[in-house]
Amino acid sequence: MLFNNIAVSTAAFLVVFVTTPLVRKYALRWKLGDKPNGRKVHTCLIPHLGGVSLVLGTIGALFLYKMLPEEAYSTGGIFALWRALPGVGLVVALGLVDDMRSLKVFQKLVVQIIAALLLVASGFSLLVGLPIIDQVGLLSLLLTVFYLVGISSAVNLIDGHDGLAGGICLIASAAFTGISLLFGSYSLLVVSLALGAACLAFLVYNFPPGKIFMGDTGSMFLGLMLGITACSLSMLRPGVGTFFGVCFVLGVPILDTFLAIARRIALRTPIFKADALHMHHVLSSFGFSPRQALLILYSIQTVSAALGILAAKGYAFPIFVGSSFLIAVFLSFFRLMIAEGRREREAADALARNSIAAIEGEAVATKSSR
């Protein structure tokens, strides 16, 4: 088993490490990149097709795993990657199109829901450990679709800072590796190892200052794969502890998503309107360097993921501690985001008033000269 794990991890790492510079080269040639704007930290076009390498490395490593001796991956069939391929493939295709043509939020959401429904139809489900939810087909379906679409979108949302999405997904993959070992699922262990190794290799090129971004292809792919892994773990050992555990493991992406919704409601802005008030934006606005901001968010994610492992093991206390920790982080960032959002609005209003005053002054001066 050890040899197989090393082989899969090494394959995922090497494929991403070797293909990322090639993808970057062609993306620059075709001018496929992220252009700087008011919400971006970078000042020049950065290629954003790094997700292609992440997909190749992860899926390629899992194909290698499939070719290893039968006993290496015989775990009762709780995770069959091949059943997930249609849904995963659809999300990868969506990401590629979006990276090249910039789709609307609603268009992406519809395709993500279809992909999630394909995964549910293939047998994947997020089990909470409560019969009132797990045994009611419609409730279970809605929860699973919401979770898969939510995690895929959540990782996509945090991918606005060099090294953030890759590092957070690396920590989450490491935590899922630990839970897979606890549950005795070697197939899920290998999936987690492949995802983690792919993220680690990508960070070589994406750590601040990043030379390439993973784009929507990479962020939605990683989010969906982590969501599928979470669902599979909940199916393997249904329980409230497992449910909280897989949610804690994805603490930062989930936090940032709920913060985005809450602050936009509080500031009375459209829910789907992009802004520069995500967790990494707020840390930067308070003077933290890119690497310092990463360290803070990595630390939050590590604590949350560690509590997730303990919760999945069946301990009740980590559920209380983890929930309290995430609520405290949520409230702290929410307060900072609201303050920063109001400050930005006041600055914009003042600029608008000054512009109007300048125009009116010009008009008066023109009349006087006549």
Q: Which helix (H) or strand (E) holds 47?
A: strand 46-47
Q: Mean pLDDT across the stretch 70-77?
A: 46
pLDDT tens for 257-289 read 999 999 999 999 998 888 889 999 999 998 999
Is the pLDDT at 369 greater than 80? The verdict is no
DSSP string, 187-256: HHHHHHHHHHHHHHHHHHHHSSSPS---HHHHHHHHHHHHHHHHHHHHHHS-SHHHHHHHHHHTHHHHHH
CB 359 within 8 A of CB 337: no
DSSP string, 3-37: HHHHHHHHHHHHHHHHHHHHHHHHHHHTT-EE---
How far is it, in rounded angstroms, from Cα 329 to Cα 300?
Answer: 8
Is the pLDDT at 36 greater than 90? The verdict is no
Which residue type sits at 305?
Answer: A
Joined together, the tokens standing for residue 109 give 């959401």
Is the pLDDT at 72 greater than 50? The verdict is no
| CA distances to 141, 173, 177, 207 from 144, in Å | 5, 20, 21, 32
Q: Which residue has the tokens 């803070």?
A: 296
Q: Which helix (H) or strand (E) holds 256?
A: helix 251-266
Q: What is the CB neighbour count within 10 angstroms for residue 119?
A: 25
Rounded-to-10 torsion of CA 327, 330, 332, 338: -140
Give the pairing of strands 46-47 and 33-34: antiparallel
Q: With the C-alpha atoms ordered 214, 219, 220, 222, is the resulting torsion angle positive or negative?
A: positive
How far is it, in rounded angstroms, from Cα 98 to Cα 133?
Answer: 35
CB 107 within 8 A of CB 69: no
Joined together, the tokens standing for residue 339 give 């303050």
Percent of the chain residues past pLDDT 90, beyond the cut: 72
More confidently predicted of 332 and 138: 332
How far is it, in rounded angstroms, from Cα 189 to Cα 185?
Answer: 6
| CA distances to 10, 117, 127 from 149, in Å | 30, 10, 16
Is the pLDDT at 75 greater than 50? The verdict is no
Q: Tell me, what's the pLDDT at 78?
A: 37
End-to-end CA distance of the chain: 90
308: nearest Cα among 233, 248, 239: 248
Is the pLDDT at 37 greater than 90? The verdict is no
Which residue type sits at 343?
Answer: R
Rounded to 5 degrees, φ, ψ at 34 are -95, 115
Q: Which residue has the tokens 């699922």?
A: 185
Is the pLDDT at 76 greater than 50? The verdict is no
CB 41 within 8 A of CB 284: yes
59: nearest Cα among 210, 197, 205: 197
Which residue type sits at 19?
Answer: T
Q: Tell me, what's the pLDDT at 118?
A: 97
Question: By three-state DSSP, how is residue 287 classified?
Answer: coil
Which residue type sits at 299?
Answer: S
Q: Where does the pLDDT of residue 77 fall: very low under 50, low under 70, confident under 90, or very high at 90 and above?
A: very low
Is the pLDDT at 128 greater than 90? The verdict is yes
Q: Where does the pLDDT of residue 2 fall: very low under 50, low under 70, confident under 90, or very high at 90 and above?
A: confident
How far is it, in rounded angstroms, from Cα 213 to Cα 99?
Answer: 11
Joined together, the tokens standing for residue 309 give 């492992």
| CA distances to 137, 200, 209, 299, 329 from 194, in Å | 32, 10, 25, 22, 30
Is the pLDDT at 305 greater than 70? The verdict is yes
Q: Mean pLDDT across the stretch 46-56?
A: 95
Q: Mean pLDDT across the stretch 195-217?
A: 96
Q: Mean pLDDT across the stretch 280-307?
A: 96
Please state, rounded to an integer, the average pLDDT across all residues of the chain: 89
Enter the pTM of the model. 0.91
Percent of the chain residues past pLDDT 70, beyond the cut: 88
| CA distances to 152, 153, 158, 330 from 254, in Å | 10, 10, 10, 10
